Amino acid sequence: MYNAKSMKAEEFICHEEILDTLAYAEANKNNKELLEQIIAKAKLRKGLSHREASVLLACEDEKLVQEMFALAEQIKKDFYGNRIVLFAPLYLSNYCINHCVYCPYHATNKHIGRKKLTQDEVRAEVIALQDMGHKRLALEAGEDPVNNPIEYILDCIKTIYSIKHKNGAIRRVNVNIAATTVENYRKLKEAGIGTYILFQETYHKESYENLHPRGPKHNYAYHTEAMDRAMEGGIDDVGLGVLFGLERYRYELAGLLMHAEHLEAVHGVGPHTISVPRIKRADDIDPGVFDNGIDDATFCKIIAIIRIAVPYTGMIISTRENQAVREKALHLGISQISGGSRTSVGGYTEDVRPTDTEQFDVSDQRSLDEVIEWLMELGFLPSFCTACYRAGRTGDRFMELCKSKQIQNCCHPNALLTLKEYLEDYASPATKALGEKLLQAELPNIPQEKVREVCLERLQKIAQGERDFRF
C-alpha cells in the first residue's frame, strides 16, 4: 500500500500506485478542464503531486504543452532568477564490483582500463580544474570496498579542500557514490560535503533488479532508501535522478516525484537537486539495446514538468547532452550545468581528451570558457557561488528561503562576485568583455540599495586582487 511517510522503499515508491497513476493520466490526457485546473494550480508555485504531473506528461494538446513550457521557464526565474550554477565531475576511480548492464565500469568489462587516482593525481586533477575556473566539483567513483573504501573518498575530499593554487580553490565538493551506511554518511558530512547525489537509475523494481544482476547494487530497497540514511547521518542536501531510457519514462517520472514527496513528508526537506541524465553510448555499452529511449521533445517535456512539479529544486543537466538540447533545457527550468567536463579517471590532466575510461560519451565538449560565454550570450548569469553551503544555509534553512523566493537576495549578488573572480582570473578576452557588460547590467537588479553598494565595493576589491567575498 502506498504511504509517502513509510520508510520502506516498496511503500513510498509503490508499484501499484504508479500503475494507477499512469492509468488515470492516460484516461485524462484529453480532459481539458482537468488539465487547465492542474496548470492553474502549478501557477501558484507550490508544486504538484505525482498524479497531477503525470496527467500533464500525458497531455497531447500542443497549446497546453507550450503553456507548461512558458510556466516552467517563469517558475525557474521566480525561484532562481537568470543564474546558472556551474560545476564539473571529478572521477576518482572506475574500479567497481557491480554488474550494471548500462555502465562500462561493470565488473565483467575486462578490456576497459581500470584506474584509481593517487592523492598526488587528485591534486593534479584539481589544479587543472582550478585553472579552468571551477569552484565546485561532483566526485564520482565506482563501488568497490577494496579499491574505493569510504576512507579513500574521505582522503580525496580532504586533499581537494586543501589545495590553494594561484587564486583557485574548490569551495564545495558534492559526492555521487554508491548507497552506504548511516555511519559512512556521517563521515561524509563531517568531511564537509555539499550535496549527496545518488541516481536511482530506475524506480521499476523488477527492471532495477534485472539491470543490476549481481553486486551490492542489486538490492533495490537498500539503494532506494539511501537518502533516508543520508539524512539520518546529518546530510540535509540530497540529489535525486533517474537514468532516462532504462524504463518507461512515464513510470520514472511518477516514481521520481513520489521519492521527492517522501523526502518532504518524512524529513520536511525535498531534494536539493534533481538530475535528468539520458543513457548514452560508452565503452561496451550500446544505448540502442535499451528500448525505452526518449526523443528530445519528450525529454524537454519531462524537464518542464519536473520544474513546475518541484519548483524549489535545483535542476541539473550534464554534458551528456549536446549544446542544442542543453540550450532548450535552460529555458525549461534547468539551474545547474556542468562545463568542460571529462568523464574519465585522470582526464583533466591529459592534453587530448581520453576516451578509453570514459563513463559515457561527452556530447558537449566545449571548454568552460566557451560555455560561460554562451550562457551570457543567451542572457543567463553564470555563477560559481558556494555561499549557502558555507554559510550553513542548507536543508530546511535553504528550502525556507528558496520557497519564499528570498534566496535571490543572497544568490544574485554572490553570482556577480563569483563571475567577477572568473573574469579576472580565467576568462578569455572576449568572455571578459562580455562579462563586464553583464555585471554592469545586473548590478541595478539588486533591489536593496545597501546590498548593491556593498556588492559594487566588493567587485572593485576583486579587481584589485582580493577574493572570496560572499553574502
Report if residue 57 sits inside a domain.
Answer: no
pLDDT in tens, 246-256: 999 999 999 99
Residues 162 and 278 in one domain: yes
Residue 373 maps to a domain: no
Looking at residue 276, its pLDDT comes to: 97
Task: Look at residue 256 and tell me if it is in a domain.
Answer: yes
What is the pLDDT at residue 355? 60
Inside any domain, residue 61: no
Q: Which three cell numbers stand for residue 398?
A: 535553504
Place of cell 567536463: 341
Terminal Cα-to-Cα distance of the chain (whole angstroms): 46
> pLDDT tens digits, the chain, 471 residues: what are they?
899 999 999 999 999 999 999 999 999 999 999 999 999 999 999 999 999 999 999 999 999 999 999 999 999 999 999 999 999 999 999 999 999 998 888 888 888 889 999 999 999 999 999 999 999 999 999 999 999 999 999 999 999 999 999 999 999 999 999 999 999 999 999 999 999 999 999 999 999 999 999 999 999 999 999 999 999 999 999 999 999 999 999 999 999 999 999 999 999 999 999 999 998 655 555 666 666 789 999 999 999 999 999 999 999 999 999 999 999 999 999 999 999 999 899 999 988 766 655 566 678 999 999 999 999 999 999 999 998 878 889 888 888 888 887 777 889 999 999 999 999 999 999 999 999 999 999 999 999 999 999 999 999 999 999 999 999
pLDDT at 438: 98
Domain co-membership, 208 together with 288 = yes
Residues 350 and 414 in one domain: no
**What residues pair up with 337 in beta bridges, in sequence order?**
86, 317
Q: How many domains does the chain have?
A: 2
Instruction: Identify the domain boundary among 340, 365, 390.
Output: 365
Q: Are residues 294 and 234 in the same domain?
A: yes
**346 and 421 within one domain:** no
Q: Which residue has the cell 546530510?
A: 235
Give 254's contacts (C-beta < 8 A, 6+ positions apart).
18, 21, 22, 50, 51, 53, 54, 203
Task: Please tell me whether residues 352 and 433 are part of one structural domain.
Answer: no
pLDDT of residue 353: 66
**333: domain CATH number?**
3.20.20.70
- Structural domain contains residue 391: no
49 part of a folded domain: no
d(CA 266, CA 5): 5
Q: If you write DSSP's letter for every residue of 395-444 in order, what string do you get?
A: HHHHHHHHHTT-THHHHHHHHHHHHHHHHHHT--HHHHHHHHHHHHHHGG
- Confidence (pLDDT) at 401: 83
**Residues 216, 221, 223: CA angle, nearest 5 degrees:** 55
- Same domain as 444, residue 346: no
Q: Comparing C-alpha atoms, which of 324, 321, 390 is closest to residue 360?
A: 321
The reply to whether 123 falls in a domain is yes
Q: Provide φ and ψ at 270, rounded to 5°.
A: -80, -175
Joined grid coordinates for residue 392: 550553513
Range of the domain at 340: 77-365
Question: CA-CA distance, 314 to 386, in Å (whole number)?
Answer: 14
- Cβ-contact 263, 200 below 8 angstroms: no
Q: What predicted TM-score, i.e. pTM, was given to this entire model?
A: 0.95
Alpha-carbon Rg for the chain in angstroms: 21
Residues 360 and 449 in one domain: no
Query: 168 and 239, same structural domain?
Result: yes
Cell matching residue 51: 498524479
Same domain, residue pair 359 and 411? no
**pLDDT tens digits for 369-410?**
999 999 999 999 999 999 887 888 988 888 888 888 777 788
> Are residues 223 and 280 both part of a single domain?
yes
- Are residue 361 and residue 416 in the same domain, yes or no? no
Last residue of a domain, one of 307, 340, 365: 365
Question: What pLDDT is stored for residue 359 in this prediction?
Answer: 62
Does 380 reside within a domain?
Answer: no
